[in-house]
Amino acid sequence: MKKSVFFGALTVAGLAAGAAAAGTLDDVKARGKLNCGVTTGLVGFAAPDANGKWEGFDVGVCRAVAAAVLGDATAVEFVPTTGKTRFTALASGEIDMLARNTTWTFSRDVDLKFTFVGVNYYDGQGFMVPKELGVSSAKELDGATVCIQTGTTTELNLADFFRANNISYEPVPIETNAEGQQQYLAGACDTYTTDASGLAATRATFENPGDHVLLPEIISKEPLGPLVRHGDNEWGDVVRWTLNALITAEELGVTSTNIAEMSAAPGSNPEINRLLGTEGNLGEMLGLSADWAKNAIMAGGNYGELFEQNIGESTSIGLARGLNAQWTEGGLIYSPPFR
Amino acid sequence: MTTITDPPKESFRLSQLIYDTRYRSLTFQAIAALVLALSIWYLGNNLIQNLRAAGLNISFDFLGDTANYDISQRLIEYDSQSSHARAAIVGVLNTLLVAVLACITATIFGVIAGVLRLSNNWLVRKLMAVYVEIFRNIPVLIWIIIIFTIMTAVLPGPRAFRGDDATSSMVLGSFAFTNRGIYIPAPIWGPGSMVVVATFIASIVGVFAYRRYTTNLLYATGRLLPVLWPSIAMLLLPTLLVFVILGKPIGLDFPELKGFNFQGGIKIGGPLIALWFALSIYTGAFIAENVRAGIQAVSKGQTEAASALGLRPGRVMNLVILPQALRVIIPPLISQYLNITKNSSLAIAVGYADITATLGGITLNQTGRAIECVLLLMLFYLTISLLISAFMNVYNSSIKLKER
């Protein structure tokens, strides 16, 4: 009985919401809005602009899913989550999907009961140091104070890296990227470590980005991707194939500029026709309208366009495609066929 | 003609449960208890159902698994290969450390501010009023963040201490104030150092014995021996003597700038300082009010009577006012100590590795065992709070008014 009191209190606190987990697709349709978990603010990936409108690479995925399901790319409620609150938010049903530079790992997939629907950015953990420190390799960081976002895989990689190289460090646990930036710039830590893309994005917001360098070592594999709850496969399929549609669109040369023309009538490429719903009934199989993929691509462009607009070389963040190029161009971005 | 009829036979009817005042309260209590039990059963059942639906179970096995993360502030040996249970213990000790430190300093701040609030000096009185009103009316989380931010922004980084044209230097050559924390010299215990420590402890015992002797002498004969100077002499002289005779067995390990950070000495981390100081000044403001109320609760006649007997103001405070005021001060002081302990969980805001940050933060997040971790956290805080209450209640009953 005493146990039940605790359990009861906890139930009220959060898990009661989990009961509504089944049928997320129907829930989203009924609500008319997609609840999408994003970071609390990482320029390029997910951050509100001057007018409070969320923008970024991860935000683009959220908007594409909303466009595919609801036909409206703006029907998204962005829920900022920290490294620590993101999984609880998803498990409890507060958000329908999480697109928050989250690394796909075994234990998150298997033990925490989430389904990663794919990878939208192949990343790795790096270190940023002030140039004046004169450090050229992460192995020279013996005794350094390291700012690290708590509750992330990077926290574990960091411990592993320093142990493997038999050097010591002092962790300064921080909650959000903004806090890390502040601590790092104040000199409270010698180096800031997180995913290399995040470091580049953070550095882009500095007053003098040139005073800081990213060290050459990439100490881990960080495949970042959107994820949903385990056990709701229909919803998982919707998010997975929306992401794949964006990737396939780039591969097939479907862009936000030519999509209106391409989707007007069936063209000569059957795969494009199936993707855009002018042929076959893929949308119906997903429980969506026939033009679901068209809407998703029109929301922010195909994968390559999203990349270029938000984090590509023309932006202040300046990330090269690298591993994130299409498989046809030597990268890892690869979508199963639409058939 | 009157007929005396027997009073109607008491027969119990169901309606009596509601209309009869003798049973009504029992009825309603039974209904309330039933509703409570049912709702608890419903909530508990709901939780178990949901956990089962999500394929999760309650298990504490994760505590034995390797933690895989590092903690910079630790009182016991710990590395990333230790278990989650050990990380939790590191957190418990850190919580207790900051709670004990903050309780001590908050009491000191509070007593000083509380007494000074009753000062006859207008400026001192008003200054203390400003302190109390400002600090207790702004949330402690804000204070923690303000102090931490000021520390990191104002104090120099270790890099500022480097080079020939260093912009910062160590105070007295042995204390380094950096934005990562304060580095102080650490004692090195050489051979024979235990003798010095033993002498010091013996001196403390000696001082207490001497004070008791003077009190007894005062009560028995009315003769007053000097207390302060002999106490200080007894405390320091024998220890110093032994220290010199044994050839200075205790040395000092000075912090030194090596690589990225100061090495050697003792580091008091920035988060600990911010949390400790913020909790102290915040709770100190509340304690100041308790102390003021306690002193004002002692009737003015007591002061006047004591003065009429020829006691000096210091003695009036120590011998007459404070012992009586303590009876009023202690019970609210208990709840202030509990507040400090519970508020220490705000450590998470500045990255101090207390139990909420280790077990309830990183461990919870890396293992995903939210329910288990939160249960353990609740159990810990409950136990600690009840223990503090119990100890303080024992102290309270020892000083409360003895009615004979």
Reduce the DSSP state of residue B211 to 3 states and report it: helix
Domain at A125-220, CATH homologous superfamily: Periplasmic binding protein-like II (3.40.190.10)
B298 contacts B117 by C-beta, under 8 angstroms? no
Residue B344 belongs to domain with CATH number: 1.10.3720.10
Contact A150 B365 (CB under 8 A): yes
Domain count, chain B: 1
On chain B, the residues whose CB falls within 8 A of the CB of A144 are 259-261
Q: What is the pLDDT of residue A46?
A: 93
The reply to whether B88 falls in a domain is: yes
The reply to whether B345 falls in a domain is: yes
Whole-number CA gyration radius for chain B: 30
Comparing C-alpha atoms, which of B304, B292, B330, B317 is closest to residue B114? B292
Residues of chain A with CATH 3.40.190.10: 2-122+224-329, 125-220
Domain of B92 in residue numbering reads as 84-153+269-399
Report percent pLDDT > 90 for chain A. Answer: 52
| pLDDT tens figures, B17-53 | 888 888 888 889 999 999 999 999 999 898 888 878 7
The reply to whether B357 falls in a domain is: yes
Mean pLDDT computed over A241-250: 95
| pLDDT tens figures, B270-281 | 899 999 999 999
Comparing C-alpha atoms, which of B207, B351, B69, B382 is closest to residue A180? B351
CA separation, residue A57 to residues A154, A312, B197, B204 (Å)? 20, 10, 63, 67
Which residues of chain B are under the pLDDT cut of 50?
A: none
The reply to whether B183 falls in a domain is: no
Give the predicted TM-score (pTM) of the model. Answer: 0.78
Mean pLDDT computed over A9-14: 45
The reply to whether B275 falls in a domain is: yes
Q: Tell me what ipTM this predicted complex has.
A: 0.73
CA distance A120 to chain B (A): 23
Torsion of CA A298, A303, A306, A309, to 10 degrees: -120
The reply to whether B382 falls in a domain is: yes
Number of residue pairs across A and B with CB atoms under 8 Å? 148
Residues 6+ apart with CB under 8 A from A183: A147, A172, A174, A189, A192, B152
CATH topology of domain A2-122+224-329: D-Maltodextrin-Binding Protein; domain 2 (3.40.190)
On chain B, the residues whose CB falls within 8 A of the CB of A93 are none
Phi and psi at residue A279, in whole multiples of 5°? -145, 145
**Chain B: residue whose CA lies nearest to A4:** B44
Partner residues linked to A195 by β-bridges: A125
Tokens of A318: 């300046």
Q: What is the pLDDT of residue A82?
A: 85
Partner residues linked to B219 by β-bridges: none
The reply to whether B23 falls in a domain is: no
Comparing C-alpha atoms, which of B343, B232, B327, B239 is closest to residue B284? B343
For the cut 80, the answer to whether the pLDDT of residue A6 exceeds it is: no
Residues 6+ apart with CB under 8 A from B241: none
Best mutation target, B45, B46, B48, B70, to test chain A (most A CBs within 10 A): B70
CA distance A193 to chain B (A): 14
